[in-house]
Amino acid sequence: MSEGVQTAGGPAQTVAVRQPPVWRRLIGFNLLTGVLLGIGGWYLGWWLGHQVSGASIAYFSDTDQNDIALFLGYFTAVVGFLIGMGFLQYPIARLRGYPPSLREKETEGIGRYFGLCTDHKVVGIQYLFGVGLFFFIAGLNAMLIRFELLRPTPVFNSGNYLTLVGLHGTMMMGMMTSAVLGPFANYFVPIMIGARRMAFPRIESLTFWLLMAAGGILMTTVFFGGFPTGWTGYAPLGNQANYGMDSYIMFFALVGISMCLLGLNMLATVITMRAPGMTWSRLPIFVWGVISTSILNLLAPPVLVAALAMSLLDRTAQTTYYLQSGGGSQYLYQNLFWFFGHPEVYILALPGFGILLELLPVFSRKPLWGYRLAVAGMMGVTLLSFLVWQHHLFVSGINSSLRPFYMLSTELISIPTGLTFLCGLLTIWRGSIRFTVPMLFALAWFFNFLIGGLSGIFNSDTPSDTTEHGSFYVMAHFHYTIMGGLVFTFFAAIYYWLPKMTGFQLNERLGKIHFWSMFLAFNSTFLPLFAVGLLGQPRRVVTYAPHLQFLNDWVSASAFVLGLSMLVFLYNLVYSLLFARVRAERNPWGSLSIEWQLPSPVPVQNFDTIPVFQNDPYGYGDGAGPVTRPVGVPARGR
Amino acid sequence: MIAIWLVLSVITTPIAALVIGPLIPPGNDSVQGMGQVFDNQVLIAVSAPIMCFVLVVLVYSLIVFRQREPAAEGLPIRGDAQLQVYWLVVTTAVVLGLAAFGTYELVKDGAGGGQGPSPTFLPPNHNTAMPVQVIGQQWEFTYRYPTFGGIEIPHLYLPANTLIKLHVTSLDVIHSFWAVNLGVKADANPGTDNIAYVETRNPTKIEIRCAELCGLWHGYMFDLQGRVVSKTAFEPLMKAQQKIYGPVSKFLPPFATSYSPEPTLRAG
């Protein structure tokens, strides 16, 4: 460890450095340059595309739609953005013979949050606000969707409504994949395993900015007429769609690359950078959740990128990968998409398991029950999630003889998921439970995921799924698992770790209001949707049967309350971080995990010396004294 | 606590299976629908005790094991080898049982789902089934009757108490043919014959919706005028339909399991 033992922040060189004027500081590799080069790049690619293919499209095609120009525009926009952010600076410097370095770009001050930064803690906070921004945009879309469904007859124009549905789904499924791995794993995994950085700090920053570029590209779809396919982007419809579809393809491809790199980085970090004594059986369970998610992150998205590459070729080069009439098959897209898509939903759910099991011991003052079992459960889900994708295609008309197998493999997932329930329930059993805000959000997981899981049994059962497939029942099911499983634990993690990340406490009273309003409104929103689906309302419809209006209105009203509860959270965040500014203690929850033994917020170098671990962080209830230990020495006798 | 759970399960399971279960659609308008209802009854009967168990343990823990004095610690229990074996055995048994039961229900008559061009799970007497073709296109379903001169009509009419073999296909994008109260769902794929079996029962109306996002007017792709009519009324009804649609149907391509219209890459 050459970057060694210098203290956090370093002794300030008190030489009065004169700050250059603002306009001078804006020149260089930063967000402004990135955005400008991105926009410039877009116009360059657009122009280039028209030079390349404009004439032939004008001659051969019956429309003037030039998808090649748009894709080229997006490509060059992303490249320009990354160059402007300074991602090529280091590779070029290395080519010119500069010595290798691992950590640069770690300046103090607010500016580091708006650019390429190799400090994993800065990237974690960037992720939190970046992902949070898109979470709220997608949530607003959901509010508009529910506004439309207040009436059985349309309120919005049909195409706009489909774009809203597509944007909500795509943004949630794309951006929220990194909702936990982005902010919390980037911030805390290196600390938890006793490292000072991620294995690939520049790739770490790249994953974040790729995700933001992807989000920006998805937003531009509104300038190109939106896309009609929802988040699944099924093929013949996607081939038929207008310009806006290209934004979807670019978005998901970039998200796929970002996810893949993120998973790779996490795995490399945990495998290679654990401090002395941090054996595999001492890893915090959250890190195991991150590992299992990262395996999925590494293996699933390449399939998506390949599928989207074929979509791109279908739309630009007029290939027919997905067109039956041209010798292709729409089933190819469905298979590839769901081979990614099913692991994807576990990419969303598994971090929730990790957070749940990480928080329960802290707030029940009890060791994690069945550590190995919990790990086995998460790994079991990881493995099985690759074997179940055709349950999305039970009525699609492919190999009906395989249906019993996919029914079995899907139901087998209940076994490892059940292990998480067992470990969670027995961790709080005979504990000493404190009902703090993070604990409340974690406990809500049990209820939500129970309903999500049990409704999933109906979905996995082929006869029962005949009616449920493609209806609001499925929609309610996955909102229970993903919103109930991920978003609730995501908020648990925010309330739990934000004091460590920012150094300021969140208001507990507002937190409790947020929790109860969100929990009740969430259940009131999604429970009736099971009935709505079974009674015959397909997903993504702009109109519905008049006799379902009461249920739909109930759901919409609850959804608006759910939206308001998010405003409570936003208010809490702004109030606590900007106005109240109550300093967080070093270890407000009395946790034994190492991140809580460090100052809040964690200093740049994390540790003064690399810690040596002697046991896992779950030694609660052993009768040892108060839970404060010197930094870098997480040991406590058992 | 076990007692609470047992009592709750004994109360809730029959209610779930016998009261709530039959209320779950699709109802008893078709044999396949009835199979699904029975399937749902079994699943909900199994789910009820599981749900009770988790909730009882959770609520019991939250009440009994809440922190009563500051800084009180819990018991340092880290696991229980025997308990975890029991748990694994029980969950595995439940899961395998459910999968076996689901497979039985599926194999029996195909459960109303689309099974592709060569269906595996055939209902008894499937050779005598009456073929009806469902053609999806943006944005309506039409129905073709090979046994009635290949006419194509805008609403689905079926005879009661008859096994129907639905050939579902599409002319453009993927649709999903969902006859809500018959418990039938089959994706309509271009160039593919997706076969679903359904045995109708009493005369009733048919609610048909498209369950796969198929473009701009997906929300309007439904039809509430289809009917299951008695066998005696069916023949005259179809004769009348033949009279209306027969002349038009002459211009249609001959009946086939799938059709290849001109590919329209950009419908707008």
pLDDT digits (tens, 9 = 90+) for A238-277: 888 888 999 999 999 999 999 999 999 999 999 999 998 8
The confidence band for A103, taking pLDDT boundaries of 50, 70 and 90, is low
Distance from CA of A410 to the nearest CA of B (A): 9
CB B54 within 8 A of CB B204: no
Per-residue pLDDT for A444 more than 50? yes
Distance from CA of A95 to the nearest CA of B (A): 47
Of A350-364, A515-529, B12-26, B84-98, the one with minimum mean pLDDT is B12-26
Cβ atoms within 10 Å of B233's Cβ, excluding its own: 14
Record: contact B266-A62, CB cut-off 8 A: yes
Per-residue pLDDT for A7 more than 70? no
Residue A180 CB-density burial (10 A; 0-12 exposed, 13-18 middle, 19+ buried): buried
* E runs forming strands in chain B: 130-137, 140-145, 151-153, 157-159, 163-170, 175-179, 184-188, 194-199, 204-210, 222-229
Which residue in this structure is represented by tokens 């019991």? B60
Per-residue pLDDT for A626 more than 50? no
Per-residue pLDDT for A628 more than 70? no
Per-residue pLDDT for A373 more than 70? yes
Higher pLDDT: A357 or A9? It is A357
CB A477 within 8 A of CB A452: yes
Q: Provide the pLDDT for residue A28.
A: 79
B-chain residue closest to A417, CA distance: B91
Q: Which residues numbered 209-268 in B keep a CB inside 8 Å of some CB on A?
A: 209-220, 260, 263-268
The whole-angstrom separation of Cα A118 and Cα A105 is 6
Distance from CA of A105 to the nearest CA of B (A): 43
Q: Provide the pLDDT for residue A104.
A: 67
CB A130 within 8 A of CB A208: yes
Higher pLDDT: B171 or A634? It is B171
Contact status of B29 with chain A (Cβ, < 8 Å) = no
Record: contact B62-A428, CB cut-off 8 A: yes
Record: contact A467-B218, CB cut-off 8 A: no
Record: contact A457-B98, CB cut-off 8 A: yes
Higher pLDDT: A112 or A518? It is A518
A-chain residue closest to B138, CA distance: A237
User: Of the candidates B39, B77, B173, which has its C-beta nearest A463's C-beta?
Assistant: B39
Sign for the CA dihedral angle at A615, A618, A619, A625 comes to positive
The whole-angstrom separation of Cα A39 and Cα A574 is 31
Q: Provide the pLDDT for residue A12.
A: 42
Q: In this predicted model, what pLDDT tens digit does every residue of A107-140 receive, in sequence order?
A: 667 778 888 888 999 999 999 999 999 999 999 9
The confidence band for B259, taking pLDDT boundaries of 50, 70 and 90, is confident
Per-residue pLDDT for A398 more than 80? yes
Per-residue pLDDT for A13 more than 50? no
Sheet holding B222-229, edge to edge: B157-159, B222-229, B204-210, B175-179, B184-188
Nearest to A529 by CA among A480, A562, A466, A456: A480
Contact status of B191 with chain A (Cβ, < 8 Å) = yes
Test the A interface: residue of B173, B175, B176 with most A CBs within 10 Å: B173
Sign for the CA dihedral angle at A611, A613, A618, A621 comes to negative
Per-residue pLDDT for A569 more than 60? yes
Nearest to A79 by CA among A105, A42, A115, A54: A42
In angstroms, what is the C-alpha Rg of chain A? 25
Distance from CA of B19 to the nearest CA of A (A): 15
Q: Which DSSP letter does residue A21 get?
A: P
Distance from CA of A580 to the nearest CA of B (A): 26
Distance from CA of B140 to the nearest CA of A (A): 14
Q: In this predicted model, what pLDDT tens digit does every residue of B181-224 receive, in sequence order?
A: 999 999 999 988 999 999 999 999 999 999 999 989 999 999 99
* Angle subtended by helix axes B31-64 and B81-109, to nearest 10: 160
Average pLDDT, chain A: 89
Contact status of A469 with chain B (Cβ, < 8 Å) = yes
Q: Provide the pLDDT for residue B262.
A: 54
A-chain residue closest to B58, CA distance: A425
CB A116 within 8 A of CB A107: no
Q: What percent of chain A has pLDDT over 90?
A: 70
Per-residue pLDDT for A624 more than 60? no
Contact status of B91 with chain A (Cβ, < 8 Å) = yes
Q: Provide the pLDDT for residue A6.
A: 38
Per-residue pLDDT for A14 more than 60? no
Q: In this predicted model, what pLDDT tens digit does every residue of B25-69 receive, in sequence order?
A: 888 899 999 999 999 999 999 999 999 999 999 999 999 999 888
Contact status of A263 with chain B (Cβ, < 8 Å) = no
Nearest to A395 by CA among B31, B115, B168, B34: B115
Q: Provide the pLDDT for residue A105.
A: 62
Q: Provide the pLDDT for residue A106.
A: 64
Average pLDDT, chain B: 90
Tell me what the mean pLDDT of segment A64-82 comes to.
92
Q: What percent of chain A has pLDDT over 70?
A: 94
3-state SS class at B204: strand
Collect all residues of chain B within an 8 Å Cβ-Cβ radius of residue A154.
219
Q: Provide the pLDDT for residue B254.
A: 83
The whole-angstrom separation of Cα A403 and Cα A424 is 32
Contact status of B35 with chain A (Cβ, < 8 Å) = yes
Contact status of B123 with chain A (Cβ, < 8 Å) = no
Q: In this predicted model, what pLDDT tens digit does every residue of A206-232 receive, in sequence order?
A: 999 999 999 999 999 999 988 999 999
Record: contact B58-A229, CB cut-off 8 A: no
Q: Provide the pLDDT for residue B73.
A: 85
**Tokens (6 digits) for A133:** 């921004």
Residue A191 CB-density burial (10 A; 0-12 exposed, 13-18 middle, 19+ buried): buried
Sign for the CA dihedral angle at A154, A159, A160, A165 comes to positive
Cβ atoms within 10 Å of A582's Cβ, excluding its own: 12
The whole-angstrom separation of Cα A99 and Cα A372 is 43
Tell me what the mean pLDDT of segment A319-347 comes to.
91
Per-residue pLDDT for A476 more than 90? yes
A-chain residue closest to B191, CA distance: A324
CB B221 within 8 A of CB B140: yes
Beta strands B194-199 and B204-210 are: unpaired
Tell me what the mean pLDDT of segment A352-359 comes to.
95
Per-residue pLDDT for A529 more than 60? yes
Collect all residues of chain A within an 8 Å Cβ-Cβ radius of residue B209.
536, 538, 541
Tell me what the mean pLDDT of segment B81-100 comes to.
93
Collect all residues of chain B within an 8 Å Cβ-Cβ radius of residue A538.
176, 178, 209-212, 218
Record: contact A621-B75, CB cut-off 8 A: yes
User: Of the candidates B102, B192, B207, which has its C-beta nearest A324's C-beta?
Assistant: B192
Per-residue pLDDT for B228 more than 50? yes
Which residue in this structure is represented by tokens 């870098």? A632
Per-residue pLDDT for A632 more than 70? no
Higher pLDDT: B109 or A4? It is B109
**Tokens (6 digits) for B9:** 């399960």
Beta strands B175-179 and B184-188 are: antiparallel
Per-residue pLDDT for A286 more than 90? yes
Record: contact B266-A454, CB cut-off 8 A: no
Nearest to B198 by CA among B180, B217, B171, B222: B180
Count CB pairs under 8 A between chains A and B. Answer: 311
Which residue in this structure is represented by tokens 């391509």? B253
Distance from CA of B243 to the nearest CA of A (A): 32
Tell me what the mean pLDDT of segment A418-432 comes to.
93
The whole-angstrom separation of Cα A526 and Cα A518 is 12
B-chain residue closest to A316, CA distance: B265
Q: Which residues numbered 97-116 in B keep a CB inside 8 Å of some CB on A?
A: 98-99, 102-103, 105-107, 110-116
In angstroms, what is the C-alpha Rg of chain B? 25
Record: contact B39-A154, CB cut-off 8 A: no
The confidence band for A371, taking pLDDT boundaries of 50, 70 and 90, is very high
Sheet holding B163-170, edge to edge: B151-153, B140-145, B130-137, B163-170, B194-199
**Tokens (6 digits) for A56:** 């032939």
Which residue in this structure is represented by tokens 């949050």? A113
The whole-angstrom separation of Cα A455 and Cα A103 is 48
The whole-angstrom separation of Cα A167 and Cα A173 is 10
